[in-house]
């Protein structure tokens, strides 16, 4: 089970710098993928063999520096609610501000572990100045310099000690595919799940979720058997504004990380919004299969072009990962719900397919020969051999003489060719070039 660490604090104390330092420890996951700004608020980190997700609450606060305190208070309350460990960042240059006192007041009331981090401590003088932060009543503090990274090692040692131990899976339990139903509030996730489960309650067994906020429901009908992870029926707090982007994303993180396939439900009457995009890229970044369901389609006035136009718009937003199934459904009228399930199962199968090395080479080498990577500085790239790696998600490695010269457009070309010949609809693919 992946743990969540939330970084809280007022604007401009260096939360984002610290966040970037944490997630850069895992270059493989935090690649400079196109559109990395989309997910500047969420990343994965690892220290001493323990992996955890990091959420920078600061990235969600829109507006100027003098942003009203209520917004920050809401962020902190959400972080308290959802995270396993909270890192509270303050700034030694400014000392204790009224807003820091506000945040610490909230944090003193909770039982979850809180690490107080005094940032911008880059000399002995500032080390002395940091002592005043004892007055926040949160006990010991850690001093770091986010820019240079000094002090982060000790802080991370303490942080991973506080993370709950992962529970070992029951070896006798049947391992079923996990389909997470995700999306912004009010998109119709609950209605979708209720329509699937219907009145036929006998086939439903409620297992207490592995995460404390989502419930797994075993679905076993029409020849399908899998666990549905519902992020919709999670307790709602009155103080959480429904439309708060942070809320949806925070809720979705855990569900996505613990799933095989993400069924992203969007509201047809609202269109594919920024928040839907955040959740989509979260699933893609975690290399999960994705199916997009445009719900409430019965409420949209249609002419002959509507479906096609609507789908084209969504695909434009999803670039470059456009090979994703998009279905128009209605949880209310139960329109195309079975098709949605079939598609999700199909994406699950595609995600675990293995392509024989001989078949792969037979197909790809002639394609590469006809259209080799462009020469760079007069040097020609020769690709000799390719294979699928034995990983849980589809990853392919191509062996060549000068891997460093293979650029992004050619990788995309190779990916498109793989998608043309094998069914990877809805499945993110990784392609690597290595020296033989």
Q: What is the largest CA-CA distance in the chain?
A: 71
Are the C-beta atoms of residues 18 and 119 closer than 8 Å to each other? yes
Are the C-beta atoms of residues 93 and 170 closer than 8 Å to each other? no
- Per the annotation, does 60 bind a ligand? yes
Architecture of the domain whose range is 178-352: 3-Layer(aba) Sandwich (3.40)
Residue 342: other Cβ atoms inside 10 A: 15
CATH 3.40.50.300 fits 3-162, yes or no: yes
User: How many Å apart are CA 214 and CA 207, to the nearest integer?
Assistant: 10
pLDDT for res 86: 92
- Per the annotation, does 109 bind a ligand? no
Domain range annotation of the chain: 3-162, 178-352, 357-435
Could you check whether 178-352 and 357-435 share the same CATH topology?
Answer: no
- Per the annotation, does 188 bind a ligand? yes
Query: Alpha-carbon torsion 25, 29, 34, 38, what sign?
Result: negative
User: How many Å apart are CA 60 and CA 41, to the nearest integer?
Assistant: 7
- Per the annotation, does 295 bind a ligand? yes
Return the structure tokens found at 295. Answer: 């719900």
User: How many Å apart are CA 355 and CA 427, to the nearest integer?
Assistant: 15
- Per the annotation, does 135 bind a ligand? no
DSSP character for 172? T
- Per the annotation, does 201 bind a ligand? no
- Per the annotation, does 186 bind a ligand? yes
> Of all helices (H) and strands (E), which one includes residue 366?
helix 357-370
Which DSSP string corresponds to 235-253? ---TTS-TT-HHHHHHHHH
Tally of residues, the chain: 436
- The 3-state DSSP class for residue 195 equals helix
- Per the annotation, does 190 bind a ligand? yes
- Per the annotation, does 297 bind a ligand? yes
pLDDT for res 225: 84
- Per the annotation, does 57 bind a ligand? yes
Query: Alpha-carbon torsion 410, 412, 413, 419, what sign?
Result: positive
pLDDT for res 245: 55
- Per the annotation, does 184 bind a ligand? yes
Q: Which of 395, 393, 394, 391 is nearest to 432 (CA)?
A: 395
- Per the annotation, does 13 bind a ligand? yes
CATH 3.10.150.10 fits 357-435, yes or no: no
pLDDT for res 428: 93
Return the structure tokens found at 179. Answer: 């389909």
- Per the annotation, does 359 bind a ligand? no
- Per the annotation, does 66 bind a ligand? no
- Per the annotation, does 47 bind a ligand? no
User: How many Å apart are CA 223 and CA 359, to the nearest integer?
Assistant: 31
- Per the annotation, does 313 bind a ligand? no
User: How many Å apart are CA 361 and CA 370, to the nearest integer?
Assistant: 14
Burial class (CB in 10 A: 0-12, 13-18, 19+), 181: buried
Per-position pLDDT tens, the chain of length 436:
578 898 888 877 888 788 888 877 433 333 333 233 334 477 778 888 888 888 877 644 544 445 555 666 776 777 777 788 999 999 998 899 888 888 888 888 888 999 999 999 888 888 898 999 999 988 899 999 877 888 888 999 999 999 887 666 555 556 688 899 988 877 888 788 878 877 443 233 334 333 334 556 777 877 888 888 777 544 444 444 444 556 666 667 778 888 899 999 999 988 888 778 888 988 898 899 999 999 999 888 887 778 889 999 999 999 888 899 999 999 888 889 889 999 999 999 999 999 999 999 999 999 999 998 888 888 888 989 999 999 989 999 999 998 888 889 999 999 999 999 999 999 999 999 998 7
- Per the annotation, does 429 bind a ligand? no
User: How many Å apart are CA 310 and CA 292, to the nearest integer?
Assistant: 12
Residue 387 makes CB contacts below 8 A (sequence gap 6+) with: 357, 360, 361, 396, 397
- Per the annotation, does 105 bind a ligand? no
Return the structure tokens found at 127. Answer: 């080390």
- Per the annotation, does 298 bind a ligand? yes
- Per the annotation, does 194 bind a ligand? no
Return the structure tokens found at 123. Answer: 């000399």
- Per the annotation, does 16 bind a ligand? yes
- Per the annotation, does 230 bind a ligand? yes
- Per the annotation, does 11 bind a ligand? yes
- Per the annotation, does 48 bind a ligand? no
- Per the annotation, does 211 bind a ligand? no
Q: What is the per-residue burial (b if ≥16 Cβ within 10 Å, else e) of 53-68?
A: bbbbbbbbbeeeeeee
User: How many Å apart are CA 254 and CA 234, to the nearest integer?
Assistant: 12
User: How many Å apart are CA 57 and CA 75, to the nearest integer?
Assistant: 6
Q: What is the per-residue burial (b if ≥16 Cβ within 10 Å, else e) of 315-328?
A: beebeebebbbbbb
Query: Alpha-carbon torsion 275, 278, 282, 287, what sign?
Result: positive
Q: Which of 186, 176, 266 is nearest to 219 (CA)?
A: 176
pLDDT for res 436: 75
User: How many Å apart are CA 183 and CA 280, to the nearest integer?
Assistant: 9
- Per the annotation, does 296 bind a ligand? yes
CA torsion 365→369→436→355, rounded to 10°? -20
């Amino acid at each position: 089970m992946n743990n969540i660490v939330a970084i809280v604090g007022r604007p401009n104390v260096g939360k984002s710098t610290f966040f970037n330092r944490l997630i850069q420890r895992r270059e493989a996951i935090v690649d400079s993928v196109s559109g990395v700004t989309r997910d500047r608020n969420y990343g994965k980190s690892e220290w001493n063999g323990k992996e955890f997700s990091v959420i920078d609450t600061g990235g969600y606060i829109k507006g100027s520096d003098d942003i009203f305190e209520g917004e920050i208070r809401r962020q902190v309350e959400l972080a308290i609610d959802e995270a396993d460990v909270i890192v509270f960042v303050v700034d030694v240059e400014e000392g204790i501000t009224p807003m820091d006192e506000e945040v610490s007041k909230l944090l003193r009331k909770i039982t979850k572990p809180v690490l107080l981090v005094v940032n911008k401590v880059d000399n002995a003088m500032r080390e002395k100045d940091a002592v005043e932060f004892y007055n926040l009543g949160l006990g010991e503090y850690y001093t770091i310099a986010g820019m240079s990274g000094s002090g982060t090692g000790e802080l991370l040692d303490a942080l991973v000690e506080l993370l709950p131990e992962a529970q070992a899976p029951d070896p006798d339990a049947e391992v079923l595919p996990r389909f997470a139903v995700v999306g912004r509030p009010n998109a119709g996730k609950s209605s979708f799940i209720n329509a699937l489960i219907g009145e036929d309650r006998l086939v439903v067994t409620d297992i207490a979720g592995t995460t404390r906020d989502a419930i797994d429901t075993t679905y076993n009908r029409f020849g399908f058997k899998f666990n549905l992870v519902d992020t919709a029926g999670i307790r709602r707090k009155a103080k959480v504004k429904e439309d708060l982007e942070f809320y949806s994303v925070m809720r979705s993180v855990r569900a996505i990380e613990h799933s095989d396939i993400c069924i992203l439900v969007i509201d047809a009457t609202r269109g594919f919004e920024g928040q839907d995009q955040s959740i989509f890229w979260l699933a893609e970044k975690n290399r999960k299969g994705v199916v997009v369901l445009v719900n409430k389609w019965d409420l949209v006035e249609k002419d002959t072009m509507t479906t096609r136009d609507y789908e084209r718009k969504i695909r434009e937003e999803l670039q470059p990962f456009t090979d994703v199934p998009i279905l128009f459904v209605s949880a209310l009228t139960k329109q195309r719900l079975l098709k949605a399930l079939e598609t999700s199962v199909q994406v699950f199968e595609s995600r675990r397919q293995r392509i024989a090395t001989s078949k792969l080479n037979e197909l790809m080498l002639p394609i590469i020969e006809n259209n080799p990577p462009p020469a760079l500085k007069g040097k020609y790239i020769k690709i000799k051999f390719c294979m699928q790696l034995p990983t849980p998600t589809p990853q392919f490695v191509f062996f060549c003489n000068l891997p460093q010269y293979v650029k992004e457009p050619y990788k995309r070309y190779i990916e498109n060719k793989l998608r043309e010949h094998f069914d990877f609809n809805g499945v993110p693919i990784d392609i690597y070039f290595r020296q033989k």
